[in-house]
Structure 1
Amino acid sequence: MSALTDRNGERWDDGFIARSRPKPTGEGPDDDDSDDALVRAVSGAGSDGGKVPAPPPSPEAQALRTRLDALRQLVGLSRTRILDGKSLAEAGRVLDEAAARRGLSPQHTVVAIAGATGSGKSTLFNALAGVQISETGLRRPTTAAPIACSWSDGAAGLLDRLEIPGRLRRRPRETPEAEALRGMVLVDLPDLDSAVVAHREHVDRVLALVDAVVWVVDPEKYADAVLHERYLRPLAGHAEVTFVVLNQVDRLPGEAADLVLDDLRRLLDEDGMALGEHGEPGATVLGLSALTGEGVGELRELLAQFTQEKGAATRRISADVDRAAAHLHPLYVADGHSGPEIGEAARAAFEDRLAEAVGAYAVGLAAERAWRRNAGKACGTPWLRLWRWYESRRSPRSLSGLAALAAIGRSPGAGPAPAEEEVTARQRVEQAVRTVADEAAVGLPEPWAQAVRETAVRGAERLPEALDEIAVTLGTAVAVPRAKPPRPKWWPAAVLAQAAMTLLQVFGGVWLTGQIIGVLEPRLMPPVLLMVAGIVGGPLVEWACSMAARGPARRYGQDAEQRLRQAAAGCGRARVLEPVAAELLRYREVREQYATVARLSTTRQ
């Protein structure tokens, strides 16, 4: 009896076929060369050592590659944003397993036979292989470890991935029926409800790696809760690579088998598993008896057709991607979010709050008053200017910070400030940041909403200090400018008129004084009229100038307010709005990648 050696150095019996039908000389590779044949099949090398050209990928395979690339980018973009690491871990596992499977033989289809204790799955396994491979009997559990049967060479890498040792790898009986199953690798699993924990772990591990599953149920346990709740229901999206077989139909009298099959289909429908009826894709359900052979031929034909299509691995991976996409759905899709961007209304409200924090309105009023004050200095009477100079020397001139600037626009008799004006500038800024972050996060999935809020908070850490610096430097310079504001064209004429009024007063006063001391001829009326004209004309000129200065002063104040508003808004955009917008753009990117990943599952839903 020949023997082979697996990767771990274990020697394993190549099975019952080696004893039942010795291979004639010159008919295919010797037993000692089987490992080389498997390696060549996996690597794609032909018998002459050259590479066998791979067939072009199918549209389904190309679509799957696109979805896997999108899922890989999705995971990469989301690692620092997603709080739920389990969902990303599941997506990463799907990527790893997909890469591992796609790196192995695409010419083989790995099918697992799973079932509960006493369902007859090992008997069905032997019936399909045409030889006694898996042990059967009344002892429970009977199958302790997965046993594999391969209908062709080149499946060593797939079996290594399943961790099936060489001593548990078999070949079927070579018959015309077996030739139709070339390319299939059949795995008999332990009982899924075994009392031995290791057996159940074998089942769970192998089921996550095979291309398709044949679930074997019997008339007593076909509605078992463990089967439906733990396996069939979670794997409902894998219907296209699922076969559900009702075994032991020979024990059911009359039409009882049809009734049980109908009830089984009903349970599968409740599990959410689509049934492949009327030519539609879905799970295949049929009844058979592995003991008597009834229906085994039909299952063999279905498995042969399924294997020859060579699309099971692609469908299985696609179903895994669908399942991962369903788990990721709450992380990337939320109802009510119109678009990943900050609305114009939110931007405007944020800038208004920052302008309020730096006292832009008050600074504008101060600039307007400064302009009118300069106009009064230029066009006012000398006596009034002297009085104002005296008053300015008596009043304090120290203004600094946001709090001082906020008080500029309030008149002395306006009473106490409203409650909202008593809030500090820092609190106003923090409130503005929270508000714009909350508005930007409306409708976003919670992980991305949290990321947006954290980005806004990080950007606003030094924002109050920056705004305070802008308010002190730019705001004070505007409110109390060192250089005189620009003067309108009519100012020189107003200055000349005021100078003329002053000269009239001076000339009239000198004339009257000369008459009083007897130097000039006494004529009281002319000098008095000149003085009255100068005294009355001076205020009239000043009043006319103040009326004419209102418009330019108002525009000057509005310009000053606008400059401060723009400076504060620019600081807020750079520190808060732009980082938040970048975060929303990243969400849009991952949302697009998720749409690519979930395309098939979304269509099915």
Structure 2
Amino acid sequence: MTAVTDEGPGQSRGPGQGRGPVPGRGPDGSGADGSGLDGSGPDRSGADGSGPDRSGLGEHSGHADGRPPGGWDDGLIARRAAAATEDTAPDEAPAAVPEDDVRPQVEAYVPSDSPLSSRLDALRELVGLSRARLERADLAEAGRVLDEAAARRRLSSRHTVVAIAGASGSGKSTLFNSLAGAQISETGLRRPTTAAPLACSWTDGAAGLLDRLAIPGRLRRRPQPGSAAADEALQGLVLVDLPDHDSAARGHRDQVDRVLALVDAVIWVVDPEKYADAALHERYLRPLAGHAEVTFVVLNQIDRLPGEAADQVLDDLRRLLDEDGMALGEHGEPGATVLSLSALTGEGVGELRELLGRFVQDRTAATRRLSADVDAAADRLRPVYVAEGRPGLGERAREEFADRLAEAVGAAAAGQAAEREWRRNAGRACGTPWLRLWRWYESARRPGGPDRGALGAPPEEQLTARQRVEQAVRTVADDAADGLPGPWAQAVREAAVHGAQGLPEALDELAGRAAGTESRGADDSGTAGVAAGVRGGTAQAQPGRGSKPPRPAWWPAAVLAQVVMTLLQIFGGLWLAGQIIGVLQPGLLTPALVMLAGIIGGPLVEWSCAAAARGPARRYGQEAERRLRETAAACGRARVLDPVSAELVRYREVRERFVAVTEFSTTSR
């Protein structure tokens, strides 16, 4: 048998073109411009690579009833021929048409509601959300899968592209010819024999697929019409014979790698001598273990093995495939198809043709191939998306961060100072005049005057506070990034460090407000990002030097009692003085008791007031500490915790997209 081109004699050429030989054809059947005979030329294929019949303008040719010679049809012409036959010769049986030929020749590849379509959409969103966080090399494989899936979806879904690959001398070209039923691929002892991919298409409409594989028209063939190889079981098959994957020519190996990344399925042909070749298993079978459902592994040349040796070699081949991680499709389970045959004698070729026919008619190979590609891309991306634990900012981490900021801003010291100020004011209001006068005299004699404490903390203390803030930021960033994949952990730390810029200055301003001092340099402190509650006067309400704490209701009574005790002292003293100088009648006991009551009652009232002021003073100090703590926590939350939380939310979003990508993986089916 001799191979024929994609168009049989008298095949329709499209609108305005006649039947028979086309002028300008070369001796190999290709056009003068290098275009192929399958309608792959630029003037005959649509945007998706389909043949001219896609437009519905093709003219009938061949038989008088419109049927092509040899009983072959391309779907659309067959339907027209059937309609014409029913109109003109109702008693004549129409040409056989597959049941699914009622659909267009080229149709949408993947339905929009299919699991694969959802996974591709999720992968596209995942890549888009990750571009700013991951290196371009990490997303390269996912981008390639998306591009190839988009290209494949635009092409015919009625065709299945199957490549035959193998080592030199394995007999893949012989098997290719046996399946095609014609001497299409050159065979011989010279190595390498196959120098470029050669394609054989059983039906029209595969031009776009072959263009995608960059197979020129002169290397595109058709099986012999009417032969056993051209039966309906293989309608829709596009078989590609590849160069040797172990060829000494580097260009041949590059072509093998390029085509294997684009075909829907692959038949690996091995021989008894090289079935365990490390190059085959380590470079191809092991990395493509996830593509088991679209993989055939054929042990060829079993005619060279005596007795049960073929079964033993086949069992050993299955063992090696299992070690490679490739699932075997045995007992009805999904996986690779493994069988033995002899392409030279034809033994087992019929079984392979039958399996291949069911595989092609199922028309899910391309979907399963793309699903496996998505699985492989997801496996590569898993280290940059899957965390070891449950990363995030828990309540404990937030509270510890607030505690460190409160310690850095001196919230506890501010509360104690507020408590002392409250008690000091109580002592001033309820103390004896003589004690208050003595305290004023002592404060006036101190170096630097009474306001020496307003100078602020020494530079050493300020430096320590800044270091505490930086340590708090590093700690909370490490807690948030704990368990995250490397890129996302780095993004969380960078968000925390960036947000912490200006945080010590903002906390200094808050501490200054709590101390009642004016905030100098507010324009340079970077407080624009502080929460509105911080700016709303919370800090101004803090106690400090120059501000007076509120007084309880019993303070006027205590002051009145202290005034009475003072008056008793004065009255008793004057009474005694009058008796001493003789102005009043002598009687020292009564004025002495009055004066003693005032002298003892004054300190007693002051002590009672101090005891009564302890509780309110403590509560006032605790309230001051709480307010300063909340103010510092709000500042840290706005500058550090919120940006860190935003990064964690972004990570959870991409993690959800990654889960959607892996939800319907082929390994889980």
Say if 1:497 and 1:266 are closer, same or farther in 2 by CA, change over 3 A.
same
**Aligned with 1:585 (options 649, 658, 664):** 649
Say if 1:25 and 1:584 are closer, same or farther in 2 by CA, change over 3 A.
closer
Native 8 Å contact 1:114 1:192 kept in 2: yes
C-alpha deviation, 1:341, in angstroms = 2.7
Residues 222-243 of structure 1 show CA distances to partners (whole Å, capped at 9, x for unaligned) of 1111111100010000000000
Q: How far apart, CA to CA, are the structure 2 residues paired with 1:48 and 1:514?
A: 139
C-alpha deviation, 1:128, in angstroms = 1.3
**Aligned with 2:4 (options 17, 37, 44):** 17
Aligned match of 1:4: none
Q: Which has the higher contact order (CA 8 A, sep 6+)?
A: 1
> Which runs of structure 2 are paired with 1:442-457 in the superposition (5 Å)?
442-457=482-497
Say if 1:394 and 1:480 are closer, same or farther in 2 by CA, change over 3 A.
farther
Native 8 Å contact 1:119 1:247 kept in 2: yes
Native 8 Å contact 1:127 1:296 kept in 2: yes
1:139 matched to 2:190? The reply is: yes
Say if 1:254 and 1:442 are closer, same or farther in 2 by CA, change over 3 A.
same
**Aligned with 1:298 (options 346, 351, 354):** 351
Residues 187-223 of structure 1 show CA distances to partners (whole Å, capped at 9, x for unaligned) of 1111000001101000011101110000011111111
C-alpha deviation, 1:365, in angstroms = 0.5
TM-score by length of 1: 0.89
Aligned match of 1:363: 414
Q: How far apart, CA to CA, are the structure 2 residues paired with 1:516 and 1:329?
A: 103
C-alpha deviation, 1:519, in angstroms = 3.3
Residues 73-100 of structure 1 show CA distances to partners (whole Å, capped at 9, x for unaligned) of 11122222225x4331111111111111
Q: How far apart, CA to CA, are the structure 1 residues paired with 2:246 and 2:589?
A: 128
Q: What runs of 5+ residues in structure 2 fail to find an aligned partner? A: 23-37, 59-75, 77-102, 518-541
Q: How far apart, CA to CA, are the structure 2 residues paired with 1:441 and 1:126?
A: 59
Deviates more, 1:432-441 or 1:595-604: 595-604
Q: How far apart, CA to CA, are the structure 1 residues paired with 2:242 and 2:514?
A: 78
Aligned match of 1:432: 472
**Aligned with 1:542 (options 606, 619, 629):** 606
**Could you tell me which amino acid in structure 2 is paired with residue 492 of structure 1?**
P
**Aligned with 1:34 (options 18, 36, 39):** 39
Aligned match of 1:5: none
Aligned match of 1:103: 154
Native 8 Å contact 1:113 1:187 kept in 2: yes
Aligned match of 2:501: 461
**Could you tell me which amino acid in structure 1 is paired with residue 282 of structure 2?**
E
**Could you tell me which amino acid in structure 2 is paired with residue 187 of structure 1?**
V
Q: How far apart, CA to CA, are the structure 1 residues paired with 2:180 and 2:4?
A: 11
Q: How far apart, CA to CA, are the structure 1 residues paired with 2:599 and 2:324?
A: 102
Say if 1:24 and 1:381 are closer, same or farther in 2 by CA, change over 3 A.
closer
**Could you tell me which amino acid in structure 1 is paired with residue 46 of structure 2?**
V
Say if 1:92 and 1:18 are closer, same or farther in 2 by CA, change over 3 A.
closer
Q: How far apart, CA to CA, are the structure 2 residues paired with 1:312 and 1:61?
A: 18
C-alpha deviation, 1:58, in angstroms = 7.5
Native 8 Å contact 1:117 1:191 kept in 2: yes
Residues 107-140 of structure 1 show CA distances to partners (whole Å, capped at 9, x for unaligned) of 1111111000011111111111122221111111
1:489 matched to 2:541? The reply is: no
1:557 matched to 2:621? The reply is: yes
> Which runs of structure 2 are paired with 1:157-556 in the superposition (5 Å)?
157-175=208-226, 176-178=228-230, 179-335=232-388, 337-338=389-390, 340-395=391-446, 396=448, 397-399=451-453, 403=457, 424-476=464-516, 478-556=542-620
Aligned match of 1:78: 130
Q: How far apart, CA to CA, are the structure 2 residues paired with 1:52 and 1:110?
A: 19
1:47 matched to 2:47? The reply is: no
**Could you tell me which amino acid in structure 2 is paired with residue 426 of structure 1?**
R
Give the number of equivalent residue pairs: 574
Deviates more, 1:541-550 or 1:170-179: 170-179
Helix, strand or coil for the counterpart of 2:331? coil
**Could you tell me which amino acid in structure 2 is paired with residue 575 of structure 1?**
R
Residues 278-314 of structure 1 show CA distances to partners (whole Å, capped at 9, x for unaligned) of 1111111111111222222221121111111111111
Native 8 Å contact 1:113 1:125 kept in 2: yes
**Could you tell me which amino acid in structure 2 is paired with residue 17 of structure 1?**
V
C-alpha deviation, 1:392, in angstroms = 2.7
Say if 1:18 and 1:99 are closer, same or farther in 2 by CA, change over 3 A.
closer
Aligned match of 1:574: 638
Native 8 Å contact 2:110 2:116 kept in 1: no
Aligned match of 1:8: none
Deviates more, 1:207-216 or 1:299-308: 299-308
Residues 253-297 of structure 1 show CA distances to partners (whole Å, capped at 9, x for unaligned) of 222211111111111111111111111111111111112222222
Native 8 Å contact 1:40 1:154 kept in 2: no
Native 8 Å contact 1:440 1:452 kept in 2: yes
Deviates more, 1:443-452 or 1:568-577: 443-452
Q: How far apart, CA to CA, are the structure 1 residues paired with 2:543 and 2:633?
A: 19
C-alpha deviation, 1:20, in angstroms = 11
Say if 1:346 and 1:18 are closer, same or farther in 2 by CA, change over 3 A.
closer
Q: How far apart, CA to CA, are the structure 1 residues paired with 2:361 and 2:420?
A: 90
Deviates more, 1:393-402 or 1:382-391: 393-402
Native 8 Å contact 1:110 1:211 kept in 2: yes
Helix, strand or coil for the counterpart of 1:259? helix
**Could you tell me which amino acid in structure 2 is paired with residue 555 of structure 1?**
R
C-alpha deviation, 1:40, in angstroms = 8.5
Poorly superposed stretches of 4+, deviation over 6 Å: 24-29, 53-61
Q: How far apart, CA to CA, are the structure 2 residues paired with 1:401 and 1:45?
A: 89
Q: How far apart, CA to CA, are the structure 1 residues paired with 2:470 and 2:3?
A: 79
Residues 472-494 of structure 1 show CA distances to partners (whole Å, capped at 9, x for unaligned) of 11244635243421111111110
Residues 155-190 of structure 1 show CA distances to partners (whole Å, capped at 9, x for unaligned) of 111111111112211222123541321211111111
Q: How far apart, CA to CA, are the structure 1 residues paired with 2:666 and 2:455?
A: 57
Helix, strand or coil for the counterpart of 1:521? coil
TM-score by length of 2: 0.80
- Percent of matched pairs sharing the same residue: 70
